[in-house]
C-alpha cells in the first residue's frame, strides 16, 4: 500500500509503478513535519525498489541538494550493499560538500554500526573541521566498546573547539548508552530471579 503523505488523499496500489513510487518518495523527502521514519519509507513499496530509488536520487547531481541530502539520510534505513556503496562514493568523492559527507558518515554509522568504524576513522583527521565534527558525531552513533577510547584518545590532539565539542558529546552519548544497557541487564536479571523464586 502506498500512502502519499502530505496530500489530501491516499493513493492505494498493490504494486506501484516506478513513477508513482518515485513521486511518493520525493514527497517523503520533502516532508516539513520532521524526517520520515523507516516505516514510512517501507510503506511506499518494496524495500529493494525504495533503496534503489533513494540511491539514484543521491548519485544524481542534477537533483535539488535538499532531496539528495535527505535521500542520503534515508539510506540509513537500508543496510544493503547498494546503500553502503553509494554512501562510500559520496564520502570519498573529491570536492564533495561537507554537509553530504557528514550525512553519509551518519547514515553509514547507523546502518552498519561497528562494521564501518574503521572507514570513518580517517575523517577524524580531515582538514575540514566540519567533516571532523561529522566523523565524531557519526562515531557516537556506533554501539561498540572501542569507540569511546578512540574518541577520548583523539581529544587532546584536536584544536578546533567545534570538533572537541562534538567528540565530547559523542563520548557522553556512548557512556549514556552503556549506562542504559547496564540498567536494563540489572532489571532483566532481577526479573528472572523474581520469576525463579
Domain definitions of the chain by residue range: 17-78, 81-186
Query: What is the Cα–Cα distance from 107 to 120, expressed in whole angstroms?
Result: 11
In the structure grid, which three cell numbers stand for residue 137, read together? 558525531
Burial 173-185 (b: 16+ CB within 10 A, else e): bbeeeeeeeeeee
Q: 81-186 is classed in which CATH architecture?
A: Alpha Horseshoe (1.25)
Torsion angles phi and psi, residue 94, rounded to 5: -70, 145
* The pLDDT of residue 190: 77
If you ran DSSP here, which 8-state letter would residue 125 be given? Answer: G
The reported pLDDT for the residue numbered 185 is 83
pLDDT at 196: 61
What's the pLDDT score for residue 15?
59
> What are the DSSP calls for 82-124, one per residue?
HHHHHHHHHHH-TT--HHHHHHHHHHHHHHHGGGTHHHHGGGG
Asked whether the beta carbons of 70 and 29 are under 8 A apart, the reply is: yes
Per-residue pLDDT for the chain (197 aa), expressed as one digit of tens each? 444 444 444 444 455 688 899 999 999 999 887 889 999 998 888 899 999 999 999 999 999 999 999 999 999 999 999 999 999 999 999 888 999 999 999 999 999 999 998 999 999 999 999 999 999 999 999 988 899 999 999 999 899 999 999 999 999 999 999 888 888 888 887 777 666 65
Of the candidates 106, 25, 99, 102, the one whose C-alpha atom is nearest the C-alpha of residue 67 is 25
Q: What is the pLDDT of residue 13?
A: 45
Amino acid at each position: 500500500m502506498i500512502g502519499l503523505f502530505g496530500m489530501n488523499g491516499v493513493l492505494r496500489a498493490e504494486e506501484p509503478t516506478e513513477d508513482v513510487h518515485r513521486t511518493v518518495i520525493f514527497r517523503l523527502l520533502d516532508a516539513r513535519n520532521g524526517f520520515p521514519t523507516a516505516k514510512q519509507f517501507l510503506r511506499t513499496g518494496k524495500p529493494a525498489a525504495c533503496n534503489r530509488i533513494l540511491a539514484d536520487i543521491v548519485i544524481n547531481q542534477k537533483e535539488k541538494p535538499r532531496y539528495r541530502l535527505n535521500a542520503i539520510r534515508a539510506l540509513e534505513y537500508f543496510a544493503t550493499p547498494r546503500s553502503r556503496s553509494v554512501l562510500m562514493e559520496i564520502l570519498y568523492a573529491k570536492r564533495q560538500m561537507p554537509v553530504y559527507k557528514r550525512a553519509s558518515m551518519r547514515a553509514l554509522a547507523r546502518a552498519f554500526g561497528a562494521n564501518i568504524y574503521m572507514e570513518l576513522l580517517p575523517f577524524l583527521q580531515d582538514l575540514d573541521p566540519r567533516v571532523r565534527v561529522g566523523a565524531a558525531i557519526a562515531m557516537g552513533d556506533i554501539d561498540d566498546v572501542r569507540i569511546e577510547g578512540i574518541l577520548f584518545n583523539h581529544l587532546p590532539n584536536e584544536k578546533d573547539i567545534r570538533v572537541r565539542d562534538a567528540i565530547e558529546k559523542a563520548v557522553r552519548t556512548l557512556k549514556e548508552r552503556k549506562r542504559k544497557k547496564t540498567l536494563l541487564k540489572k532489571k532483566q536479571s532481577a526479573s528472572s530471579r523474581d520469576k525463579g523464586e
